[in-house]
Amino acid sequence: MKIGIDSIAFATSGYFLSLETLAKYRNVDFAKYCAGIGQMKMSIFPPNEDVVTVAVEAARKAISGIEDKNNVDMLIFATESSFDLSKSAGIYVHHFLKLKENCRVFDLKQACYSATAALRLAKSYVRENPDSKVLVIGSDVVKYSPRTSGEPTQGGAAVAFVVAKDPRILEIEPWAGIHTTDIMDFWRPSHLEEALFDGKLSAQNYLKSMHISVARYLEKSNIAISDVNHVCFHAPFCKMAQKANSQLFRLKSIGETLIYNSVIGNSCSASLYICFVSLLDHIKDDLTGKRIGFFSYGSGSVAEFFSGIVTKNYRQMLDTQNNQKMLTDRVEISFQEYESLGNRENLDFHSYKNVGEVAMFGINNHQRMYKVRKTY
């Protein structure tokens, strides 16, 4: 049975900060950002946007591509940005999408790897329940302390994809190379809003894990590295993916995979799959029958390299024009507003637009309150 990604969509906030602006106020040469880490802009989340609101928008678009949303029997929400240690963020999405009650909903966490873990669970579930579909969401917002090396890599977005039999975009192949090791390269203590990291250690372990994972994949699959036509890498910043590619594939270009991430910033669990959407939207060649490699990395750490074959009808499932319009329609904010949003004090939930139809409008008794601006 062929199982894989049947539809896919992403969403990010309606605001961004140009890294040229950040460089000016941080007294840094802009080339350090655009050439040094491969980033141009970063998505900025106003108080009325969070991992739930962008997840609802991405998921709404993803399930619009299937005939009957009542076939969605499971919703897996992958994130490392959850605001509740008990209730799944996926429950909110389930509610706003009006999915059936007979639907399993839960969150998964393992840094940026979690959406790939969700994909694996979804594939196994569909194999046992061929008429079912699984909605997988990866949604994260990344924040670092001001004036740290991580600051220009901030960002956030959500990706949503439906896993089903006879997929119309990508058939997931059965082989994977996996590498897990205990390392403190990135961590988010529950009492802190910003992430902590050891950037040098993380980059070293990313590359080490990639080489081990790819070697195990090749050994299991008996596929030559030359048989992998294109590769998508987890991109905490675009230069990291480019460096990985130069060590692994050398002559293959990954420029099309990084176009969206270069103006969104790090979106953790969503990052790898936004690279995939970017490839589909920007490459001119017909990808039908091509093998796409995926390297997923989550600090801490778990890594996986796997592959999929693009199906013949994939172009019918693309939403390239709207994807690009969503990014070009974003509002640029000033450095002063960026700093005020970072302070998270006395924020006005009502003066900012939101990209989708669900917005957060406040917090009462430690409960986040959302509203639908119009019905679907």
Domains of the chain from N-terminus onward: 3-169+315-372 (3.40.47.10), 171-314 (3.40.47.10)
Per-residue confidence band for 23, with pLDDT thresholds at 50, 70 and 90: very high
List CB contacts of 170: < 8 A, sequence separation 6 or more: 4, 5, 276, 292, 308, 309, 310, 311, 314
Q: Which of 4-8, 131-135, 198-202, 238-242 has the lowest mean pLDDT?
A: 198-202
Which residues in 103-222 belong to E strands, given as ranges? 104-108, 133-142, 155-165, 170-180, 186-187, 196-197
CB atoms under 10 Å from CB of 223, counted, come to 16
User: Could you give the angle at which helices 89-97 and 51-63 cross, rounded to 10 degrees?
Assistant: 40
321 pLDDT above the threshold of 50: yes
Report the pLDDT averaged over residues 250-276.
Answer: 95
Q: What is the mean pLDDT of the chain?
A: 94
Chain center to CA of 225: 25
Whose structure tokens read 């966490």? 109
Q: What is the dihedral of CA 183, 186, 191, 194, to 10 degrees?
A: 170
- The predicted-structure confidence for 168-209, as pLDDT tens digits, reads as follows 999 999 999 999 999 999 888 888 877 888 989 999 999 999
pLDDT for the residue 107: 98
375 pLDDT above the threshold of 60: no
pLDDT for the residue 110: 97
List CB contacts of 248: < 8 A, sequence separation 6 or more: 210, 211, 214, 225, 231
pLDDT for the residue 242: 97
Among 234, 256, 268, 304, the one annotated catalytic = 234
Q: Are strands 155-165 and 133-142 parallel, antiparallel or unpaired?
A: antiparallel
Residue 112 known to be catalytic: yes
In sequence order, what are the beta bridge partners of 15?
44, 331
pLDDT for the residue 193: 76
Instruction: Read off φ and ψ for residue 371, nearest 5 degrees.
Output: -140, 150
List CB contacts of 341: < 8 A, sequence separation 6 or more: 44, 45, 46, 47, 333, 347
Report the pLDDT averaged over residues 114-139.
Answer: 98
Residue of 7, 9, 99 lying closest to 57 (CA atoms) = 9
Express as a percent the part of the chain with pLDDT over 70.
Answer: 98
Among 49, 57, 80, 304, the one annotated catalytic = 80
78 contacts 150 by C-beta, under 8 angstroms:
no
SS3 (DSSP) at 274: helix
Report the pLDDT averaged over residues 327-334.
Answer: 97
Per-residue confidence band for 25, with pLDDT thresholds at 50, 70 and 90: very high
Residue 80 known to be catalytic: yes
115 pLDDT above the threshold of 80: yes
Out of 194-198, 301-305, 349-353, the most confident range is 301-305
Report the pLDDT averaged over residues 81-108.
Answer: 96
Among 34, 49, 103, 112, the one annotated catalytic = 112
Per-residue confidence band for 345, with pLDDT thresholds at 50, 70 and 90: low
130 contacts 285 by C-beta, under 8 angstroms:
no
Per-residue confidence band for 344, with pLDDT thresholds at 50, 70 and 90: low
List CB contacts of 337: < 8 A, sequence separation 6 or more: none
Residue 234 known to be catalytic: yes
pLDDT for the residue 190: 81
Per-residue confidence band for 376, with pLDDT thresholds at 50, 70 and 90: very low
Q: Are strands 170-180 and 302-310 parallel, antiparallel or unpaired?
A: antiparallel
CA atoms within 13 A on the CB side of 105: 18
- The predicted-structure confidence for 310-320, as pLDDT tens digits, reads as follows 999 999 999 99
User: Which tokens in the block code for residue 353?
Assistant: 């637009």
